[in-house]
A and B are shown apart, each in its own frame.
Chain A
């Protein structure tokens, strides 16, 4: 797969946290919108989305902590799943994310995890690969001073080639 242009946009903003999402250039829906629109009509998983939305509100009020997430990616990246575990009946819904700071979280896509690891599921693997590559680019740009996290906002050009 060649490089893609992606842009960050706000998905949900609260007193202490901004949840960004990722839009791949030319696509109608952002990554998190894809997850929400795919599962909103499904009775089995709607509870999972409702739990995610409540969790976002709770974390949004107080700021996020490491313990609210489950580490998912590689050792050196900041990818994780929000929330870590959904205990809705038989719910295996996962929403992948990058926790930049307690006040800035980037949400990606996700889905139903039926395999032991996300790598075994091509769709979930794609979701995670996108976030891992994005995290690498964000780190680079931050180091170069092109992106500056200020409280709950990422300042700078939020378009990336990944």
Chain B
């Protein structure tokens, strides 16, 4: 790969959120494009079904559109397919994927809270039950009841 020095300067100063924004937007556009092909709907037809200008749909497919949830919902409804899914609290985080399990240690007891491959290996030493409860509440996870009776 070769970059002009002016381009390189911009790349070096680029914050991570810009990368995430463009990757997500582009993947969303790819997904819309895929569903359009699958359903046999072209740009013109999609714009008619949604009551939008064709130029607006063209923007969406360019991969740099900042969608609102409402627009996403309307597109999903017309194309009969999910465009994206919000992660549940105990679902994989790509940064931690395939790392192992979380273990909470309450005194002598250890409990695996998450399934393997879903979170980083972390061990928490918590001295009393109230701290344990506080942790579980903050993480929005249900601890096994036996934790509290150990």
- On whether the two chains bind one another, the answer is yes
Q: Which residues of A contact B (CB under 8 A)?
A: 10-15, 21, 30, 32-33, 36-37, 40, 46-47, 49-58, 60, 67-70, 83-87
**Of the candidates A12, A83, A84, A85, which one forms a contact with B2 in the assembled complex, judged by CB atoms under 8 Å apart?**
A12
**Of the candidates A15, A58, A67, A70, which one forms a contact with B23 in the assembled complex, judged by CB atoms under 8 Å apart?**
A58
| A-B CB contact pairs (8 Å), 27 listed | A10-B2, A13-B2, A13-B3, A15-B1, A21-B4, A30-B4, A33-B6, A36-B6, A36-B7, A36-B10, A50-B18, A51-B18, A51-B21, A53-B7, A55-B22, A67-B58, A67-B61, A67-B62, A68-B62, A69-B62, A83-B64, A84-B64, A85-B59, A85-B62, A86-B64, A87-B64, A87-B66
Q: B86 at the A/B interface (Cβ < 8 Å)?
A: no
Contact status B10-A67, CB under 8 Å: no
Least Cβ distance of B59 to chain A in Å?
5
Contact status B63-A68, CB under 8 Å: yes
Least Cβ distance of B133 to chain A in Å?
42
**A47 and B66 alpha carbons, distance in the complex (Å):** 14
Least Cβ distance of B56 to chain A in Å?
10
Instruction: Tally the A-B contacts, defined by beta carbons under 8 Å.
Output: 88
**A40 and B18 alpha carbons, distance in the complex (Å):** 16
Contact status A46-B63, CB under 8 Å: no
Contact status A58-B22, CB under 8 Å: yes
**Of the candidates A13, A67, A68, which one forms a contact with B1 in the assembled complex, judged by CB atoms under 8 Å apart?**
A13
Interface residue total, chain B, C-beta cutoff 8 A: 28
| B54-88 CB contacts (< 8 Å) to partner A | 58-59, 61-66
Contact status B22-A54, CB under 8 Å: yes
Q: Which residues of B contact A (CB under 8 A)?
A: 1-4, 6-7, 9-11, 13-15, 18-19, 21-23, 26, 29, 33, 58-59, 61-66
**A72 and B67 alpha carbons, distance in the complex (Å):** 23
User: Which residues of chain A come closer than 8 Å to B59, judged between CB atoms?
Assistant: 70, 84-85
**A15 and B2 alpha carbons, distance in the complex (Å):** 10
**A120 and B121 alpha carbons, distance in the complex (Å):** 60
With both beta carbons as reference points, the residue of chain A lying nearest to B67 in the complex is identified as A87
Contact status A84-B62, CB under 8 Å: yes
